[in-house]
Structure formats: C-alpha cells, structure tokens
Amino acid sequence: MRSIDDFSGRTVLVTGASSGIGRVLCRRLAERGARLALVARRRPALEQVCAEVTAAGSEALVLPCDVADRTQAGAAADAALAHYGHIDMLVNNAGYGRHARFLEWDLDDMEHMVDVNIKGSLYFTKRLLPQMIERRDGCIVFMASVAGKVATPDESVYAATKHAIVGLSDALGIEVEDDGVYVMSVCPGAIDTPFFSEEDLARMPPVAKNSLADPEKLVDHIFKALAAGRHETTYPRFPAAAYPVRALAPEFMRRQVRRATLDAVAKEKARR
C-alpha cells in the first residue's frame, strides 16, 4: 500500500477513540464505509462513539483498554483480529499532554505520559504489523504533534514523547514500505478539543491559544494526506515553515520560540 483513499470495507483500529480527534476520525471513517475497532479507557464514552458509527451505517467493536498496559493492549488487538479477521489500518491516536514547568511536573505523571504516548503505540504496532506484512497490505498512522518537531517550554515531556513518535514513524515507514505497509505521522498544532484543560489554556502562549484549529478540518487534511501518500503531514500548515528554520538556524529558532512563548505569556500577565 502506497496511499489510501478508499476506506469502504476496510477495518480500522483507532486508539484514543472516545473523544477529540479520535472520535471525529472514527465518525468520518464510518461515513466512508470503514469498519471500526474502538479503543480507549472509558466504555460509556466508547459506546457513544459506537452509536455514532452505527448511525453512519457502519460496524464498530468496542474495546475498553488502557493502552499503557501491555497485557490489555495485546488483548484488545487480539480481540479486534479475532472479530474482523484482519486489521487494514491502525491509527495510534491515544495520548495526552500537559503544560507545566519540568521542575514542577510530577514524576509519576511524566512516567505515565511516556507509557501512554509512546508505549501504547509500540504495543499496538507490534501486535498488528505482522499480519499487515503477511498480507502485504496495511497502513499505520501515528498521531504526533508540532511539538514533536519544534519543542516549546512548558511541554518538555510531551515534546519528548512526540519527538519519539515522529522518529518511530520515520524509521518504521522506511523499514516496511517494501512489505506493502504504508506509514504516516500526523503533526497537529493546537486543536480545539477536550485535550486542553482550563489550566493548560491559561498557561498557553497567545499564538497557540488564539489559533485553535477545527478538528473536522484536521481530519479532512488527514484524508487528503493519506490519498496523496504523504509520510508526514502538519496541520495547520503554517507551523511547518518552522521546520527548515529549526534545522538550518537552531539558535535563531530558539529565540523565536522563546519570544512567542515565555516572553509573550509574561507580557500578557503584566497587562492584567
């Protein structure tokens, strides 16, 4: 598989399916004829997504699971395989973030973020990739972040996990492309979803807080990127302009990031 634009009859497992980007993506996949395996911790929320999928005329399997738990992740992946026979597409979407200074960040939460954001993707990919290679047909999408390309203060651990996901997607994609498996990473900027708490929004720099993007438009962008066979994509597009600057002029980029984040937040507080 070099790209994907027809989802009719395809089986797709989505982690983090209960809310935010995952929920929108599941509904839109169902509208395009895909059959879904829905993975997240909260069964009631998954049941609501399942109802949306079936209302769109498709089929959904509810799989409550803590993706950070290796045993639970393996059991959920196996249950999806047993139900559908195979999985055509895996969307590693589960993850969470936090805005906090490193010194003030609770170590238990740091470890949990690493487990959810990185290990969850590892567990499901490790379990579902072999059957894709065996059939020489499959697609894996990693939901990364702009923070996985350009790190910002107050997001140190989150940025570390998303840098890891970008690296995993890049390396894996090259490894398996000759086996018929297509891999893409998605790097969203700030998206208007329940992902951000009120505390996060209060700490967020104005440049991000004032430009929260529509998750529906993000999903539109993901479908276009998949159809085009892109291996990495960013939405909204404007943050991608920082990537070559970061590579070619890292000190300049560092000053610009500081000006747009720490300095901007300090000025906003001073005006209050």
Asked if residue 1 belongs to a domain, the reply is no
Number of H helices and E strands in the chain, helices first, is: 12, 7
User: Is the confidence at residue 49, as pLDDT, over 70?
Assistant: yes
- Note the pLDDT tens digit of each residue in 226-247: 999 999 999 999 999 999 999 9
Q: Tell me the CA end-to-end span of the chain in Å, nearest whole number.
A: 54
Asked if residue 141 belongs to a domain, the reply is yes
CA-based nearest residue to 218, from 46, 54, 20: 20
Asked if residue 203 belongs to a domain, the reply is yes
User: Is the confidence at residue 12, as pLDDT, over 70?
Assistant: yes
Asked if residue 83 belongs to a domain, the reply is yes
Asked if residue 46 belongs to a domain, the reply is yes
Lowest mean pLDDT among 147-161, 162-176, 196-210: 196-210
Sort 48 into a burial class: Cβ within 10 Å, 0-12 / 13-18 / 19+: middle
Asked if residue 206 belongs to a domain, the reply is yes
The pLDDT assigned to 129 comes to 98
Asked if residue 145 belongs to a domain, the reply is yes
Mean predicted confidence (pLDDT) in 19-33: 97
- 182 catalytic per annotation: no
Asked if residue 6 belongs to a domain, the reply is no
Q: What is the rounded distance in angstroms from the CA atom of residue 207 to the CA atom of residue 215?
A: 18
Q: Domain range holding 145?
A: 11-239
User: Is the confidence at residue 208, as pLDDT, over 70?
Assistant: no
Q: What is the pTM of this model?
A: 0.92
Mean predicted confidence (pLDDT) in 98-112: 95
> Helices in 32-101 by DSSP H: which ranges?
43-55, 70-84
**For 213, which DSSP code?**
B
User: Is the confidence at residue 32, as pLDDT, over 70?
Assistant: yes
Sort 50 into a burial class: Cβ within 10 Å, 0-12 / 13-18 / 19+: buried
Residues of the chain with pLDDT > 70, as a percent, come to 90
Q: Which two tokens stand for residue 79?
A: 């249950």
How many CA atoms are closer than 13 Å to the CA of 77, on its beta-carbon side?
24
Element (H, E) at 263: helix 262-271
User: Residue 179's domain is classified under what CATH number?
Assistant: 3.40.50.720
CA 215 from chain center: how many Å?
12
Which one is catalytic: 84, 96, 123, 158? 158
Q: What is the rounded distance in angstroms from the CA atom of residue 192 to the CA atom of residue 214?
A: 6
Cβ pair 175, 218 in contact under 8 A:
no
Cβ pair 197, 255 in contact under 8 A:
no
The count of domains in the chain is 1
**Better-scored residue on pLDDT, 70 or 190:** 70
User: Is the confidence at residue 181, as pLDDT, over 90?
Assistant: yes
Q: Which two tokens stand for residue 68?
A: 């950070």
